[in-house]
Structure 1
Amino acid sequence: MILEKVDHRLDLQGKVCPYPTLEPRLALNDMAAGQVLEVITDYYPALQTIPELMRELGYPYELVDGDKPVFRFLIQKT
């Protein structure tokens, strides 16, 4: 479980592909290991694309409020 100590936050509401995947990737590149990124999005396909990206990059993540119109991901850079 990722602690909810958020170091960086991306509010991507209203943004569509490729931004809900591209912006977290760029933000994680600038973060230190152990830091947590919160991604907020209302783009439904991000429910699939963000987890795919995190598996590819090897970063643990949690989907919070996945049943709401706005989704939150907590991603920990390792």
Structure 2
Amino acid sequence: MHKLDLRGLKCPLPVLKTRKFLSSLAPGEKVEVACTDPLSVIDLPNLLRETGDALEASGKADGALLFLIRKGAAT
């Protein structure tokens, strides 16, 4: 599993960097994204609805918002 540390970045950078990172993954691969921007809880799920990728889990740890994302099938 890949890890993407985006702590300290403000909107829209977490979404833009997550989109770019997801484009480099093969279908089925997973990435754990760590953010501190509170808008990420809205923005990342919206991004995944657009891209067709899946949010498998989300939560908080060590002051960061965590998102476990699985790359969807190629379109």
Report TM bin, short chain: 0.7 to 0.9
Q: How much has 1:62 moved relative to structure 2?
A: 3.1
> Structure 1 residues 39 and 62, CA, compared in 2 at 3 Å: closer, same or farther?
same
Aligned length: 72
CA-atom RMSD, angstroms? 1.6
SS in 1 for 2:49: helix
Q: Which runs of 4+ in 1 moved over 3 A?
A: 66-69
Aligned to 1:51: 45
TM-score normalised by the chain length of structure 2:
0.85
Structure 1: give runs of 5+ residues left out of the alignment: 1-5
**Structure ranking higher in strand proportion:** 2
Mark the runs of 5 or more structure 2 residues left unpaired by the alignment: none
Identity within the alignment, %? 35
